[in-house]
Amino acid sequence: MSSFTKAAALAALLPLALTGTPPVCSPSTADLSCSGSSTNTCCINSPGGLLQQVQFWDTSPSTGPSTSWTIHGLWPNNCDGTYSESCDSSRAYTDITTLLQNAGQTQALSFMDTYWVSDDESNEKFWEHEWSTHGTCISTLEPSCYSGYKKGEEAVDFFVKVVSLFQTLPTYTWLKNAGITPSSSKTYKLSAMQSALESAFGAPVILLCQDTNVVYEIYYAFHVEGSVQNGTWVPTSNEGSSSNCPSTVKYPPKGTETSGTMAMRPAREDVQGMAASSSTEHVEL
| Residue 269 annotated to the active site | no
- The dihedral built from the CA positions of residue 147, 126, 167 and 107, taken in this order, carries a sign that is negative
* C-alpha distances in Å from residue 86, one per residue of 54, 60, 170, 251: 18, 29, 29, 33
The total of structural domains in the chain comes to 1
User: Do residues 108 and 115 lie in contact, with contact meaning Cβ atoms separated by under 8 Å?
Assistant: no
Instruction: Give me the catalytic one of 134, 153, 217, 223.
Output: 134
Q: CATH number for the domain including 29?
A: 3.90.730.10
Per-residue pLDDT, 268:
53
Residue 18 — pLDDT band, cuts 50, 70, 90? Answer: very low
Packing angle between helix 106-115 and helix 123-133, nearest 10 degrees?
100
In a domain, 285, yes or no: no
In a domain, 137, yes or no: yes
User: pLDDT for 38-93, tens place per residue?
Assistant: 789 999 999 999 999 999 999 999 999 999 999 999 999 999 889 999 999 999 99
Give the range of the structural domain holding residue 52, as residue numbers without chain letter. 3-278
Estimate the share of the chain in helix, then strand, then coil, as percent rounded to the nearest 5.
Answer: 35, 15, 50
Distance CA 278, CA 209 (A): 11
User: pLDDT for 198-236, tens place per residue?
Assistant: 999 999 999 999 999 999 999 999 999 999 999 999 999
CB atoms within 10 A of CB 229: 24
In a domain, 35, yes or no: yes
Per-residue pLDDT, 14:
46
What is the distance in angstroms between the CA of the first residue and the CA of the last residue of the chain? 20
| Residue 130 annotated to the active site | yes
State yes or no: pLDDT of 9 exceeds 50. no
Query: DSSP character for 251?
Result: -
Distance CA 37, CA 26 (A): 14
Instruction: Give me the catalytic one of 124, 129, 130, 223.
Output: 130
In a domain, 268, yes or no: yes
Residue type (1 letter), 27: P
| Residue 129 annotated to the active site | no
